[in-house]
Amino acid sequence: MAVAEELSFVRAAKRVGISQPPLSRQIANLEAEIGTTLFNRNKHGVTITEAGTALHQELREILPRLEGAIKTTQRAAKGQVGTLALGFGGSAVYTFTPALLRHFRRNFPDVELSLRNVPVTSQLDALLDQRIDIGFIILPVDNDAIATRVLLRDKLTVALPSGHPLTRQKTISVNELSGSDFLVFPRSRNFGFYNKVIDLCTHAGFMPNIVQDISPLESQIGLVAAGVGVAIVPSVAQKFRLTEVEFRPLRERTAYVEFAMAWRKSNTSPAVRAFIEVVSKVKIQERQ
């Protein structure tokens, strides 16, 4: 390109920052590789051949696209472009994920966020099946293939049907629920909230009388409103403002859950790394 535009090996060499002999050798090698003469050299100077003119015109279109491709590749390596599939569902939707997504979009506007509607009870399975890159789950996770980062500690509350005797109290101890019918999340190897409820009850000296296991959280709160039973739930459940349901915090110090971001340890996507780095800088308010 430089020789074609300068029509001088000396000026072209100065333009590209090398000496003239190596430039002449590179042009000769290019001509040998293509199989045709690109420049006529004589004592009067350099002229470009018809073949050289054709190549020069092609390169004027190709090189900008090549430079653009290189820049796109470099941005992809930094996680600045690409696609990121996130599990979006459950209580995380009402708490911290909107702020995280806004923050990430502000810093990485060219990464396409693909939001998959996956209940929190199924997000670990979706991660393992590679249907999503990032999930938002409730700890603990007992799987060596998954990495996690705690985002929010949320106190547990009791959802009670309006008019329930315990609604007369400002707070409730778990043992006061011993005679109640319970609504719980389904038991799952990859979702530990069921075990959390069972552990709280057994430490309080009783096994809960489970009348229904159901998810998502909205459905559970709906059954509480219908008077089917009570439910121990994260405090974010209070986002569902139903007049037939009242919430009371539990007194036990261990009555909390931790929401976490989760990803596969084997996922080396730069976009995933970028998301993790951005999220680590976002301060999330703990819910008491």
Q: Is residue 69 domain-shared with residue 191, that is, in the same domain?
A: no
Least confident stretch, 105-119, 138-152, 228-242, 271-285: 271-285
Average pLDDT over residues 252-260: 90
Which residue type sits at 180?
Answer: S
Q: Is residue 143 domain-shared with residue 268, that is, in the same domain?
A: yes
pLDDT at 162: 93
Q: Is residue 194 domain-shared with residue 214, that is, in the same domain?
A: yes
Q: How far apart are CA 18 and CA 82, in angstroms?
A: 37
Q: Is residue 124 domain-shared with residue 148, that is, in the same domain?
A: yes
Q: How many domains does the chain have?
A: 2
Q: Is residue 128 domain-shared with residue 39, that is, in the same domain?
A: no
pLDDT at 83: 84
Residue of 282 and 143 predicted with greater confidence: 143
Asked if residue 102 has pLDDT above 50, the reply is: yes
Cβ contacts of 79 within 8 Å, gap of 6 or more: 108, 111, 269, 270, 271, 272, 273, 274, 275
Strand partners, 161: 245
Asked if residue 176 has pLDDT above 90, the reply is: yes
DSSP state of 1: -
DSSP states of 128-190: HTTS-SBEEEES----TTEEEEEEEEEEEEEEEETT-GGGGSSSB-GGGGTTSEEEEPPPBTT
Q: Is residue 92 domain-shared with residue 218, that is, in the same domain?
A: yes
Average pLDDT for the chain? 87
Average pLDDT over residues 232-250: 89
Asked if residue 36 has pLDDT above 90, the reply is: yes
Residue of 282 and 193 predicted with greater confidence: 193
Q: Is residue 69 domain-shared with residue 127, that is, in the same domain?
A: no
SS3 state at 124: helix
Q: Is residue 73 domain-shared with residue 126, that is, in the same domain?
A: no
pLDDT at 228: 95
pLDDT at 79: 59
Q: Is residue 47 domain-shared with residue 160, that is, in the same domain?
A: no
Q: Is residue 153 domain-shared with residue 183, that is, in the same domain?
A: yes
- Cβ–Cβ under 8 Å, residues 95 and 236: yes
Q: What is the pLDDT of residues 73-88, one digit of tens each?
A: 776 666 566 788 998 8
pLDDT at 119: 81
Residue of 173 and 260 predicted with greater confidence: 173
Q: Is residue 65 domain-shared with residue 161, that is, in the same domain?
A: no
Instruction: Read off the CATH number of the domain in which 147 is found.
Output: 3.40.190.290
Which residue type sits at 219?
Answer: S
- The helix or strand, by DSSP H or E, that contains position 249, with its residue range, turns out to be strand 245-249
pLDDT at 81: 62
Strand partners, 149: 261
Q: Is residue 230 domain-shared with residue 149, that is, in the same domain?
A: yes
pLDDT at 94: 61
Q: How far apart are CA 279 and CA 167, in angstroms?
A: 38
Band the pLDDT of 244: cuts 50, 70, 90: very high
Nearest to 228 by CA among 172, 155, 178, 159: 159
Band the pLDDT of 90: cuts 50, 70, 90: low
* Domain of 25, in residue numbers: 2-77
The pair of structure tokens assigned to 85 is 């599939």
Average pLDDT over residues 95-111: 82
Q: What is the pLDDT of residues 179-227, one digit of tens each?
A: 999 999 888 766 778 888 999 999 999 999 999 998 888 889 999 999 9
pLDDT at 284: 60
Q: What is the pLDDT of residues 139-167, one digit of tens each?
A: 888 788 999 998 888 899 999 999 999 99
